[in-house]
Structure formats: C-alpha cells, structure tokens
Amino acid sequence: MSMMSEGRPTQPLAGAGHSVATFTGNRALMLEEPLIFESGSAEVTGVDLEPVPAHASRLGGLERKGAIGLPGLAEGEAVRHYTRLSRQNYGIDLGLFPLGSCTMKHNPRLNEKVARLPGFADVHPLQPQDTVQGALELIHELAEWLKALTNMPAVAMAPKAGAHGELCGMLAIRAAHEARGDARSVVLVPESAHGTNPATAAFCGYRVESIPADARGRVDTAALLARLGPDVAAVMITNPNTCGLFEPDLKRISDAVHAAGGYVYCDGANFNAIVGRVRPGDLGVDAMHINLHKTFSTPHGGGGPGSGPVVFSEALAPFAPLPFVVEEGGRLHLVEEESASAENHGQSFGRMSAFHGQMGMFVRALAYIKSHGADGLRQVAEDAVLNANYVLRSLDDLLSAPFGDSGPCMHEALFDDGFLKDTGVTTLDVAKALIDEGFHPMTMYFPLVVHGAMLIEPTETESRARLDEFIASLRGLAEAARAGDAGRFRTAPHFAPRSRLDETRAARSPVLAWTPAQTAE
C-alpha cells in the first residue's frame, strides 16, 4: 500500500493480467470516509416534513429566504458517517493516553450515570433559584471539598477551564493590588511552569520575566528571590512542575514573595499528583486553579464547558468573582451582584461568565470525590506517582532521563532525545512510530527546558499490564533506533488512517472549513 503526499490512503493492485488500479482507499473495517457535505446533497432530505402554510408560520417574517446548504442524508447514512469517523479516532476508552501534563484518565461510568439524572442534566441557568436548590447544594458541597483539600478559605466556581481559572486568579491579584493603590507591573514565571502562565499574565497587562530552572529541574530559588522587588505583582509557579518534579522550596518562595508585597499563583493542573497528600494553602499559595478533568476525572469537554475552579487565600478571597453560592436561613442562593454585606465585601473584580454552565462537570467531579472519600483521593495521588515512577525506571536504562538522578518523579516521567544521538531518528519520529504500536504518542517537545522532550503521564487508572505493554513498545522502538533502523521511523505511521502529513504546511496553511465547489453560471 502506498500513501499520497497529502495523506490520503490509496490501494494499488497489480497482478497477473491486471493493470495497476486505485480502489476506494478502504482497508477491511477501516473505511475511507468523505466529508458529510460530499456524501450528502443539499437538494435532498432524510426526513419528510409536511409543508407549513404561510399563514401558520410563527417566525414573524423571519422565514429563511434561500437554501440553507446543509447536506441531506437518510438516518442510516448519517449514523454510518459518524460511526466510521469514530473508528478513525483515538480516545481514553480505546487505550492508554500517555499525554504528559494533560492527565487523560478513565472517566468512571458511575459519574456519567449521575450526570445524566434529569434533575442535573435538564437544569437551566434561568430557572428560579427555588427550583434548583439541589443543584446549588451540589455546587456548594463541591466547593467545600475543594476548600478542604487545598486548605484555602474561598473558591470561585465560575471559571470554565484551566486557563480561564488562571485568568480568574490573576484578575483577583490585580484587583487586590489596585485596591491598596499599589500599581505593579511584573509577573515572574519560572521556566518549569505551564506554558499558559506567561500568556495569562501578559493578557492581564503584566510584563513577564522568566526565572531559570536549576540543574535538578526545579525553579532556581536564588534567582527568583534575587529578582523580587516593589514592581513584582506575583509569581506564577507550577507545583508539581512540568518536569514532573515537586518544588520543595515553594513555602520559602511564598514567604519571600509575601514579604515583598506580592502574591503567589500556583498552577494547579498537576494537583492530581498531590491531592489528599499536600494542601497548597499550607505552602503559602494565594490562588490556584483546579482542572476538574485532570484531578477529578471529568471528561475533556463532555458535551459542554470544562471547569477550572479557583481557590483563594484569605488575602484574595474578598476579590473573588461573582456569582457564588451562599446559605441563608436554610436556603441556598447565588450572590449575583456586589454588596457591602456580601461575603466579598463588595470588592469582587466582577464576573468571569454569565452562568454556571459547566453543571455536568460539577456533578461528575463530586461523584468522583464522594466515591473515593478523603483516603481514596490520597491513594489516587499515590498510585499516579507510583505508575509514573514505574515507567521512568523501566525505561531509563534505554531512554535518557535528564533528571533521573534527582530522585523519584511525581506524576510524570520525562525523557529527552539524548538516546537518539547519531541515529537519524527524532522525537517526532518516535511519536509517529508509536502510533503504529497502537498507542497515542506522549507529549513531545515540552517542557521547553529539555531538548527533544518526551513527557509521559500514565495516571493512576492504568493497570500494570497496560503499562508493561506501553513500556515494551517504547523499549522496542528505542532498540530499533539504536540498531540503525531509521527508515522504519521516517515514514511512520504506516497503519493509521492517514500517513504522515506535512506538519509545517498544516500549521501555516490550515484548511479549517469546507468550501463548496463553484458552479458555472
């Protein structure tokens, strides 16, 4: 089988008495699937509808004047189209998803069942609050869990994602500085922090200065402390950091930042590694977002917004965004407007969003928390760290681990491309070859402090048997690269629905929308 340059598969057939021909591109049950616009037709419909008399229209003169241009397919054709597409995708329900920093772990079906209960699935943000007391109680209970697990006195439930949560925390920090008339212009971000951190700080109007990492893969504490001054508004630090390592000096850093009049923002994307074991509030953190999909198993998306609640220290709690749930007289209600008598004393920086539209994520997260309990959540962190160290030590004799001598890792095993030197094989080649082994590749070229990085996060939900399969595949690829079998890598993947694409062209000239062919007049 050969692959065309644009990645579309072809199936040449050559044999006695036969000329070379190209067939459909289908391979057994892996079926080539055109766009729905190409398989359907705008001139037909899959459903017969009775025409609506003009006088019966309820659209008030807003009826469509022309064709909508959507393809019409019968129900069977539509079902087949999306089923075939699903067979060309990879997801956590299919196999191990070792993306470092993304925490792609199993989504328990119990959580999905609870989220589909009518009282939660059908709730509407504009319902009278008296009719959604159960939903408000769930939000309130989840908030109490998050405060207890972090030892932080306040939490904002409104942010819709991790980066949205970062923005929430930094806006609260900016509001706190403005409230005391202390204009500051700089945010310090270690090289080992998440890549969204400097973007968030810049979006809030701050100048970002980078703090280097030391030889152990942690923040250079001496360099950070030396840079503190009256112009520094905050430090954004990730703990555990993107090298998969715990920052042991965080309490010392927090004390110094506070003494200099600044605040500490902790990126909580890696909270999965320490939940139940370490409380960020004890380390002097002032604000931290929590990705519910990473730590508490809600899906990435799940049919609606994600969720990135932000916990706050006592110093920042008055500036938390609206709305938030409070209990008064045995009833729960949302505080929607600033009020001097409200919990935030009228100093809220405003709103992050109109509604708590991520209700489904709240339900799933609380179901996960209550099914585990405090002790179970502690084991979640312990098993995540155990699995990562199992991967690290099972591969570090063949793959090069830049911080392998720094002691155990946390939830992620980090390798560089040192083991590929003089082989003609790159990190990207290894990732493409891993697709042929039936695995989604790990995170590549991140963190940037490591050349040719390969960041692997197995999570706590993978069994030893599955980890052994993954480890065996990576060992086999490393041995093949060292043995000089570079050709195997350069053309990989060979067994995916698409061959290797021109990634530079895809990044510079993306085709993001279907354009109908122009018909002659």
Examine the pLDDT at 177 and tell me if it is beyond 90: yes
> Measured between alpha carbons, how far is 25 from 57 in angstroms, rounded to an integer?
47
Do residues 324 and 337 make contact, with C-beta atoms less than 8 angstroms apart? no
Comparison of pLDDT for 517 and 264, the residue scoring more: 264
186 beta partners: 207, 232
Do residues 342 and 85 make contact, with C-beta atoms less than 8 angstroms apart? no
The total of other beta-carbon atoms located within 10 Å of residue 432's CB is 20
Tens of pLDDT, residue by residue over 328-359, are 888 888 888 765 444 545 689 999 988 888 99
Tens of pLDDT, residue by residue over 87-104, are 888 889 999 999 998 899
Do residues 153 and 312 make contact, with C-beta atoms less than 8 angstroms apart? yes
What is residue 403's three-state secondary structure? coil
> Measured between alpha carbons, how far is 494 from 474 in angstroms, rounded to an integer?
17
What is the pTM assigned to this prediction?
0.88
Q: What per-residue confidence (pLDDT) applies to 119?
A: 87
**Radius of gyration of the chain measured on its C-alpha atoms:** 27
Token pair of 500, please?
């290797």
> Measured between alpha carbons, how far is 99 from 45 in angstroms, rounded to an integer?
42
**What fold does the segment set 378-508 form as a domain?**
Aspartate Aminotransferase, domain 1 (3.90.1150)
Which is it for strands 186-190 and 232-238: parallel, antiparallel or unpaired?
Answer: parallel
End-to-end CA distance of the chain: 41
Q: Of all residues in the chain, what percent are helix, strand and coil, respectively (each to 5)?
A: 35, 15, 50
Give the contacts of 138 (CB within 8 A, at least 6 positions apart). 120, 362, 363, 366
Do residues 352 and 323 make contact, with C-beta atoms less than 8 angstroms apart? no
Token pair of 298, please?
């809600």
Tens of pLDDT, residue by residue over 441-454, are 999 999 989 999 99
For the chain, where do the domains classified as CATH 3.90.1150.10 start and end? 378-508
Q: What per-residue confidence (pLDDT) applies to 518?
A: 65
For the chain, where do the domains classified as CATH 3.40.640.10 start and end? 110-366
Chain mean pLDDT for the chain = 89
Q: What per-residue confidence (pLDDT) applies to 300?
A: 82
> Measured between alpha carbons, how far is 211 from 228 in angstroms, rounded to an integer?
11
Residue type, 197: N
Q: What per-residue confidence (pLDDT) applies to 7?
A: 52
Domain range 110-366, its CATH number among 2.30.40.10, 3.40.50.300, 3.40.640.10, 2.60.40.10: 3.40.640.10
The total of other beta-carbon atoms located within 10 Å of residue 417's CB is 22
**Residue 503 phi/psi, 5° resolution?**
-70, -30
Q: Encode burial over 72-87: b for 16+ CB neighbours within 10 A, e otherwise.
A: ebeeeebeebeebeee
Token pair of 258, please?
């506070």
CA distances from 83 to 76, 89, 236, 497 (A): 11, 10, 43, 14
> Measured between alpha carbons, how far is 45 from 29 in angstroms, rounded to an integer?
28
Q: What is the DSSP letter of 473?
A: H
Token pair of 399, please?
């793959």
